[in-house]
Amino acid sequence: MPQRTSRLPVLASFQRDATKALTTLQKEIAQREHELAALKTEASRWQTVLHGPARGDGASTGPAWRKRRPKRRLDWSVIFKELPARFTSKDLAQKSGKPLAQIYALVSRWMKDKKVRKVKDGYQKVA
């Protein structure tokens, strides 16, 4: 009579090992979550010391002395009308108070819109 090999002990052994591994992982996760909560509490305390209470989303409200009124936006069409027929990027930067990098972007937009064209000593308004 042939002998039957039972898979039951192998399956039971696998389930036991998997249960042990799962329990170990759950303990490790709980420990890390506890450490994370402690770190968040400490960070919140430091945030309060530096800047006042932190917002709920974790972003800083920032110190009160840094809050400023927003600057008004420039009306570039008014500045364009005030410019002479020929102007340089430096003239435009002085009139607007903006950095040259922003001026170059604006002038390239005006060139695309065919409001100005490049000439030898700067730019010229297109009539």
- Encode pLDDT of 25-50 as tens digits: 999 999 999 899 999 888 888 888 88
70 lies in some domain: no
1 lies in some domain: no
Domain that holds residue 99: 76-125
**Residues 59 and 15 placed together within one structural domain of the fold:** yes
32 lies in some domain: yes
92 lies in some domain: yes
**Residues 15 and 53 placed together within one structural domain of the fold:** yes
Total of domains in the chain? 2
**Residues 49 and 87 placed together within one structural domain of the fold:** no
41 lies in some domain: yes
46 lies in some domain: yes
What does pTM read for this prediction? 0.45
Q: In which band, very low, low, confident or very high, does the pLDDT at 9 lie, cut at 50, 70 and 90?
A: confident
Residues 54-73: b if buried by 16+ CB within 10 A, e if exposed: beeeeeeeeeeeeeeeeeee
**Residues 83 and 119 placed together within one structural domain of the fold:** yes
98 lies in some domain: yes
- Could you tell me how far CA 109 lies from the centroid of its own chain? 26
More confident site: 1 or 111? 111
User: For the chain, what's the residue count?
Assistant: 127
Q: In which band, very low, low, confident or very high, does the pLDDT at 54 lie, cut at 50, 70 and 90?
A: low
State how far the Cα of 95 lies from the Cα of 86, in Å rounded to an integer: 14
pLDDT tens digits, one per residue of 79-96: 999 999 999 999 999 998
4 lies in some domain: no
